[in-house]
Amino acid sequence: MERQNLWAPWRIKYIQGLAASSGCFLCQALASPEKDRENLVLWRTEHALVMFNRYPYSNGHLLVAPVKHVAGLSELSEAQMLSLTRLTRDSQRALELAIKPHGFNVGMNFGRCAGAGLPEHMHIHVVPRWSGDTSFMPICSDTNVISQGLYELYDQLAEVSQKENLPQT
């Protein structure tokens, strides 16, 4: 079978930004609950948060992260791990209700060599997928268009969350 890659040209800003920015965007977002929409933080619970990836691989790409700034699962308590799993479940549920993906990639990258953009604060990627989505995004996708889409989808997921009483932690 032919290998197909998701085409996400807007990610270059993120990759270029990695070198320039110091600090942890997850902890920065956690520190400012009053800016949750601005920061695209969808949910926060005692042990974890769910926020949009600003540089998504696909529409609705969410990040589930522990509140605790740790690099790996071994540094989390049972309660913290359970919270991550529950929020992953609820993220999938909200996305299913809001944008009806055909499938998901859910995964973690540990270490830069494994593709982690923020290796010091672990997180789970929840990436919605659609049949044939490898080629539907046009090369001329503009970052502003994507950003607007992020806030539209944020509001859509926030509405679904309220209706369905999510997260159910």
Catalytic positions are 123
> Which of 47, 54, 61, 121 lies at the binding interface for Zn ion (CB under 5 A)?
121
Q: How many CB atoms lie within 10 A of CB 16?
A: 10
> Which of 27, 67, 70, 71 lies at the binding interface for Zn ion (CB under 5 A)?
27
Q: Choose the stretch contacting Zn ion; rule: CB under 5 A; options: 15-23, 113-121, 126-134, 152-160.
A: 113-121
> Which of 6, 24, 99, 106 lies at the binding interface for Zn ion (CB under 5 A)?
24
> ω before 138 within 30° of 0 (cis)?
no
Q: Choose the stretch contacting Zn ion; rule: CB under 5 A; options: 7-15, 19-27, 86-94, 104-112.
A: 19-27
Nearest to 45 by CA among 62, 64, 58: 64
b/e burial code for range 83-115 (CB count within 10 A of at least 16 → b): bbebbbbbbbbbbebbbebeebeeeebeeeeee
Q: Which is nearer to Zn ion, 10 or 25 (CB)?
A: 25
Whole-angstrom Cα distance, residue 67 to residue 26?
8
Q: Choose the stretch contacting Zn ion; rule: CB under 5 A; options: 49-57, 67-75, 91-99, 132-140.
A: 67-75
> Which of 69, 86, 89, 129 lies at the binding interface for Zn ion (CB under 5 A)?
69
Q: DSSP assignment, residue 78? A: H
Q: Which is nearer to Zn ion, 44 or 69 (CB)?
A: 69
Whole-angstrom Cα distance, residue 167 to residue 86?
8
CB of 121 to Zn ion, least distance (A): 3
Examine residue 137 and tell whether it contacts Zn ion (CB under 5 A): no
78 touches 111 (CB < 8 A): no
Which residue ranges make up the site for Zn ion (CB under 5 A)?
Answer: 24, 26-27, 69, 121
